[in-house]
Amino acid sequence: MTTSSAATINVLDKGFVRLVEHMGSDLSIVRNARVSYDADWRSGDGLPEGVSTDPGKDAKLIEYLLKNKHTSPFEAVVFTFEVKAPIFVFRQWHRHRTWSYNEVSARYTELDEGFYVPSVEHITTQSTSNKQMRTTDQHPFAEHIQQVIESECQTAHGVYQNLILKGCPRELARAVLPGAAYSRMMATCNLHNLLHNFIPLRMHSHAQYEIRVYAQAIYALLHTIVPVTVEAYSRLNDDYKRS
């Protein structure tokens, strides 16, 4: 388990991903896989049995498991992250149903984590070739658009605070908060679902920039805990590299 502040990566203008806790390692994956695939392995005494002392052999097994979709050994490695991100990013994130989420409740407490203002270089033009994407060409009025977004968010946040001052219930006042408002959550997911679902989809070049940077931060944190697996995965997958 790690709770060192070293495991925090800042994302966007005010967000972050922090690795709060984790279970397992590259060795856990090998140990779980060997139950199914290694006739010779016997256990019970609590030592990391059946783990060859040859790291190269373990790396080969992990790559074999990834390549042949033997997914269950990767479900024995689990991570809890703390994430601060804009609501419109959480809206995409929460569509992943294999995570466990504990998010700040805006019914229970006033939301005042600020809001996301895109940097000028990320304010590009609407893609016409791919209807859901934006291009990488900076928008001619990028600075103006940035000001419009920022001032509208400031207005909305002011109205929100005012409603609460007037005694408007928090659960109703939040109706005026923009998608750019930051929220915070604790989120737990196992390595299989991260590598099979969240990472390829959200690190993909077609993913929106604002969630892709969170997926990249998580991928970097995974690498610190299961380097052998992440490197094997990276050799086998290319999509997200195009990002």
Active-site residue list: 202
Identify whether the C-beta of residue 215 lies closer than 8 Å to the C-beta of residue 15. no
Question: Cβ neighbours of residue 12 under 8 Å, at least 6 residues apart?
Answer: 85, 86, 116, 210, 213
Q: Does 165 bind a second copy (CB under 8 A)?
A: no
Burial (Cβ within 10 Å: 0-12, 13-18, ≥19) of residue 26? buried
Q: Does 198 bind a second copy (CB under 8 A)?
A: no
CB-nearer residue toward a second copy: 116 or 233: 116
Instruction: Say what angle helices 227-236 and 55-67 make with each other, to 10 degrees.
Output: 50
Q: Which two tokens stand for residue 196?
A: 């099979």
As measured in angstroms, the least distance from the Cβ of 45 to a second copy is 5
Q: Does 100 bind a second copy (CB under 8 A)?
A: yes
3-class secondary-structure state, position 239: helix
Q: Does 166 bind a second copy (CB under 8 A)?
A: yes
* Span near a second copy by CB under 8 A; candidates 56-64, 122-130, 212-220, 224-232: 122-130
Among 33, 66, 199, 213, binds a second copy (CB under 8 A): 33
Q: Does 238 bind a second copy (CB under 8 A)?
A: no
CB-nearer residue toward a second copy: 107 or 242: 107
